[in-house]
Each structure stands twice: as C-alpha cells, then as structure tokens.
Amino acid sequence: MFIGHYGIGFALKKVEPRLSLGLLIFGAIMLDILFGVFLLAGVEHAKIVPGATVVSPFEFYDYPLSHSAVGALVWATAGFLAYWLWPTGDRTKRKWPAFVFAAAIFSHFILDVISHTPDMTLFGNNSPGLGLSLWNSLAGTMIVELGLFSIGIALYMSATHSISSSGKYGLSLLVLMLVVFFIANIFGPPPPDMISVGITMTIGQLALVALAFKVDRNRMVNQPGKNT
Ligand SMILES: [Zn+2]
C-alpha cells in the first residue's frame, strides 16, 4: 500500500492532536523507510518483476525485519518506548500519545497484508505468509487507497486549521504530491533498479515527512466548540 498509509497518519491527528502530522506519517510509513534502509544495506531483498501483480511490479521475497508480524510488533514497541521515555518533558503525560504513535507503526503491517500477495510473513522467511492480494485488482486498489487517503485528510482538516499560508498551501502541496506519486507508481513504468527504489523509500519519503512537519507547525488544533 502507498497513500493509504499516509491516510492513517492524517487520520490519527484527530485521535491524538498533540502528535505532529510529521511524526504520525513517519510512524505510518516507518516500515517502508526501514525496508529502504535494509535494501540499500543489502540486508533485505526484493526484485522488479513487471506484472508480478496487476498494480505492483515487485516480488518481495526477503524482508522479514521490516515486514513480518513480529518485526512490526518489535518496531511498534520500540516506537512506543522511544516516545514515552524521551529524556525531555513530562513522561507521565506521554503514554497515550506513545501508544498512538505505536499504533501508527503497526497499522502499516495490517494495510500491507491487505495489499500484498501472501509475502508478509509471521516471523521470517520460513514462516506462514499473509496477504489478501488487493494489488491484483486495479479498481480495488484505487478505491481502498484513495478512500483511506480521503478520509484521513478530511479528519485532519476537521482537527486543525491553518494559521499561515504554509499551513494552507503546504497541505495542498503535500496532498497533490502524494496523489501524483500514487498515480505515477501505478500507471508509470517500473523503476529501473532496486537501488532507486531504496533511495525513494528513504530519502524521498523522509522529504515528505519533513514537509508534513512543516505543514503541521503552520496549523493549529481546533478547540471543541470553536474554529469548526
Ligand atoms: Zn510496506
């Protein structure tokens, strides 16, 4: 899945407005960023096979650290602990936002199980694989991804309002870029090699996270009964 993950990041702002959109999106796509890092490091592997599924030209045959159920649970727990135990500020008020951040991280696994063929393993390459193969349906992929993305943006916009042009037009830019990348991913040619995939997964997505942090700094959380 691609922009469906971003939709979850947007939506969770409504659940825990104290968390920046940047951090929520980072959590929702963290397993893909890690996959990019592990690809570039030669620790995990996938290959480009045009037509592997109707929507995605990849065969993911070795990515147990970033995309197994146990791996996702470990990363979500690490995210929870990192946020909760961060050395500055008041730790006692951070358990709930830490839990929401961890939920964002683990949501990635659930959404990928919906999209992928059964290549999402429980605990490694020799364990059972999960995957509902939504990627074999173009219409299904468009409906689910754009649906999640639209709901997420609607929730984010209902939870915040812009306090500067960066908050207003920055959000439009972020949404537009994500939709363009999503369409290009589906209808464009396959990537040339896995190195460029790894770079896109890491640097490309971290640039979008940085934009999300900037947008969120330029929007204010709505108070109940006001700013509706
Ligand atoms: Zn993924």
- The mean of the pLDDT values for the chain is 96
| DSSP, residue by residue, 99-168 | HHHHHHHHHHHHHHHHHS-S-EESSSTTS-EE---GGG-HHHHHHHHHHHHHHHHHHHHHHEEESSHHHH
In a domain, residue 110? The reply is yes
Quote the radius of gyration of the chain (alpha carbons, Å): 18
Would residue 25 count as lying in a domain?
A: yes
Q: CA of 42: how far to CAs of 13, 62, 109, in Å?
A: 35, 11, 22
Q: What is the distance between the alpha carbons of residues 159 and 73, in angstroms, rounded to a whole number? A: 28
Residue 74 domain boundaries: 3-221
Q: Work out the pLDDT band at 89, boundaries 50, 70, 90.
A: confident
> Residue 113 is which amino acid?
V
pLDDT digits (tens, 9 = 90+) for 110-164: 999 999 999 999 999 999 999 999 999 999 999 999 999 999 999 999 999 999 9
Which residues, in sequence order, are bridge partners of residue 129?
121
Q: Which two tokens stand for residue 166?
A: 């960066």
Q: How many angstroms is it from 180 CA to the middle of ligand 1? A: 19
Percent of the chain at pLDDT > 70 equals: 98
Arithmetic mean of pLDDT, 38-46 = 98
186 occurs within a structural domain: yes
Q: Quote the pTM value.
A: 0.96
- On whether residue 170 sits in a domain, the answer given is yes
Q: How far is the CA of 223 from the centre of ligand 1 (A)?
A: 34
- In whole angstroms, what is the distance from residue 153 CA to residue 156 CA? 5
140 lies in a domain? yes
CA 224 – ligand 1 centroid, Å: 35
Ligand 1 centroid–CA 227 distance in Å is: 36
**Ligand 1 mean position to 225 CA, how many Å?**
38
Ligand 1: distance of its center to the CA of 32 in Å?
5
Q: What is the pLDDT of residue 92?
A: 86
Tell whether 228 is covered by a domain: no
What is the residue type of 169? Y
Burial 18-29 (b: 16+ CB within 10 A, else e): ebbbbbbbbbbb
**The token pair that represents 19 in the structure block:** 């968390």
What's the domain count of the chain?
A: 1
